[in-house]
Amino acid sequence: MCWMWLLTALVMSNYILRIPALSEKPANITDISIILEEGFPVADFLEVFPRDSAPPDVKTEAYIGVYKDDLYVLFFCHESEKVRYQVLKRDEMRTDNDMVFVLIDPDNSGTRSYAFGINPAGSIIDYLDVSGDCIISYDFNWTGYAEVRETLWIALLDIPLSNFSKVKEDDFRIYLNRSRPSQYLYQYVWPPVPSSSSDDPFAKGILEGSWRKVSSLNVIPYILSSDGPPISIDKVTIRAGATGKYSHESGLSVLFALNPDFSTVETDEPQITVNNPYALYLAEKRPIFLEGGDIFERQNYMIYTRRVNEPIGVVKVLGKFKNTEMGVISAYDLSNSFLYTTDFGSFELPVGDSALVNIATLRHYFDKGTYLGAVLNTRNTTTDFANYVGFLEGGFNFRNTLLLSGVFGYSRRGKESPDYKGELVDASVSLKLKNFTPRISYFAVSEDFSNQNGFLKSSNVSSLTSGFSFRFPVGWGILNFGQLDFSYSINSDYARTYDNDSLYFCLMSSMKYRTDLYVAYMRYSQQLLGTTLTGLDLFNLSISSAPTDFIRLTAVLGLGNGINFYAYTPDKAHFTSGSLKGDLMLGKKVLMTLEYRSYSLGEKPDIIASQNTYFLKFLYNPTQRFSFRWINSYDSEELASYPLLSYQISPYTIFFFGGSVKGSFEGKLKEWDKNIFLKAQVGFEVF
């Protein structure tokens, strides 16, 4: 086998981009001669989806160069069909648009990458990928240009290297991707490494120009005029605050926020709450907490920043030094809450006092994907509550084939006696072969474990899971490929006083006409409050299709025999759930999304409980900077509307005019809650 490793190393050594220093700056898409003449040419893109390791049907070329501290990537995307695109608001992820992406791992950590993408209209998106978890709305200060021609479209990405706290100039990693939604959602990549291969898909980048990170200070003050109910001029209130970032040339960064405002952050979609025994999990969207996500991204039981509800002040310290990274978050939360967990559920209870929240992370990398680290959490209230949590973590990656990871957590809460102490263990082993990935994992959390800066669905649980995933070609009619997931779990409480089991089976398939099929079945048993429930099952069917360039439909159906948590003694009950989501593109500048969800517990005529929700989002983008967004949501209890008019010059200089109107339901509509706001946010570079 040694000769195969040597051959792999020899082949991968050819995937090196020696990025030359350009003699002058490419101005925009109409002035690209300098990068064509002096840039590093990239060709031989490989199709990795839907066919794995196939020559693309159309040609893609790229040229790369660096001028001072800016990295330039020029794409030529040849096309045999019409180019598919729409004018979109920044960070509006659309799989039905032609797009190109540049992914960069600046310090060769092997666990994260920063993605910069652009479509043919010049609409840009950036996000952070940490170990497969995608963090959208992660804004960098960069620009992009695009132009559509008869048989191709061209994109130029201008990425300042100062966006990264650390760049290994002779050993960073880079990856180029083209997404082409034709009959399938084609994916073309460089370097040409098949997705089924265990090789690292990134190429090695070497900056041949002289570049050095310098210190900088950026401040973003804002002023907000708000008019609450009843709407009246004399009720207008003025709020002000600021966020800022200081970056030192050593790799240390300090972020701060004073009285941060989140009024213009897009609202969460309504969730089904009927017969749900768990506290709701909400994705983080607030910029001050997203910043530094590459350092703070962990499993949500370790770090869950949405538990910070109403911060009056936030300080974040980020640092990357050689192969070690660290981060600290300190926030004072005016609206504290407590997460209670039991062996069958959890719920969040507002406490009413304020709290000081501290989160610290430390991780040292020995190689790509091999690391040791620690996380410390504290939450202390103004009354008598305290919570201290510590985690030790580690990961081992052997040639991207053998993957091991483990976490041990210990918690203590309560200032006064008695103290509650708890433990958490999470470990997994997987073997990544060509199309086959066997795995085994163990997760356990004790009854008294408590992390008030994290999220847990329940406590006093333990599970040992083994399974595999298998990807295989199909090639039958409209079918292209399939992926089978199978797992079997033995479940118990933390002390292992009883045993349950669960069997999970899932089949995913890609088909023509940009259609994906998902079928899953799970059969399990569970013991609650001394009662053992057997014969529980869940069937899920999901179909997502974009048969044309202007519409995408997703339909989901779920049914089975679940647990009726409304019963005094937990009992089985039949349930049915479903959702229908449609994305409609109207021309090049209008986008509309409508989602409907339904849940019913029990069978007719004996329905125990039911709930319907809908979510409507309307976007109109006449230009790249100017946009209008209108969101309506309904969850059986509240009807809410959120109009927003925005003008965005850069990620940090934005002007908003919007509001919110909410109405509560108790038999009939009552208690309207109205608010109108005007906000200006301007970014300044102090030095």
Q: Which residue has the tokens 């483990």?
A: 406
How does DSSP classify residue 21?
B
pTM beyond 0.85: the answer is no
- Please answer whether residues 613 and 636 qualify as being in contact, where contact means their C-beta atoms are separated by less than 8 angstroms: yes
pLDDT digits (tens, 9 = 90+) for 584-643: 888 888 889 999 999 999 888 888 889 999 999 999 988 878 889 999 998 877 888 889
476-492 pLDDT per residue, tens: 666 667 889 999 999 88
- Per the document, the length of the chain is 687
Does residue 97 register a pLDDT over 50?
A: yes
Quick check: 534 and 527 in contact, CB under 8 A? no
Query: Which SS3 state, helix, strand or coil, does residue 114 take?
Result: strand
Q: Give residue 195's Cα distance to chain centre.
A: 21
Spatial CA neighbour of 591 closest among 626, 564, 551: 551
What DSSP character marks residue 269? P
State the pLDDT at residue 234. Answer: 58
How far from the centroid of its chain's Cα atoms is residue 390's Cα? 25
Helix (H) or strand (E) holding 339: strand 337-341
Q: Residues of the chain with pLDDT > 90: what percent?
A: 38
Burial of 341 (0-12, 13-18, 19+ CB in 10 A): buried
Closest CA to 578 of 541, 553, 605: 541
| Chain Cα centroid distance, residue 476 | 34
- Read off the pLDDT of residues 524-555 as tens digits, 9 standing for 90 and up: 988 777 778 888 999 999 999 887 777 889 99
| Token pair recorded at residue 19 | 């990025």
Structural domains of the chain, ranges and CATH numbers in brackets: 2-207 (2.60.40.1190), 271-459 (no CATH)
| Stretch among 46-50, 54-58, 327-331, 579-583 having the lowest mean pLDDT | 46-50
Strands 16-19 and 203-207: parallel
pLDDT given for residue 481 in this prediction:
73
Q: What angle do CA 187, 544, 266 make, to 5 degrees?
A: 90
pLDDT, tens only, 448-463: 999 999 999 999 999 9
Backbone angles phi, psi at 632, to 5 degrees: -120, 140
Q: What is the 3-state secondary structure (H, E, C) of 427-463?
A: EEEEECCCCEEEEEEEEEECCCCCCCCCCCCCCCEEE
- Answer yes or no: is pLDDT of 150 > 70: yes
Average pLDDT over residues 645-665: 81
Average pLDDT over residues 641-664: 83
Q: What contacts 646, CB < 8 A, 6 or more positions away?
A: 264, 626, 627, 628, 629, 654, 655, 656, 657, 658
The half-sphere exposure of 308 on its side-chain side, counting CA atoms within 13 A, is 29
Residues 229/231/234/236 CA torsion (nearest 10 deg) = 70
Q: What is the pLDDT of residue 42?
A: 93
Per residue in 374-412, pLDDT tens? 999 999 988 778 899 999 999 998 888 899 999 999 999
HSE, side-chain direction, 13 A CA sphere, residue 188: 26
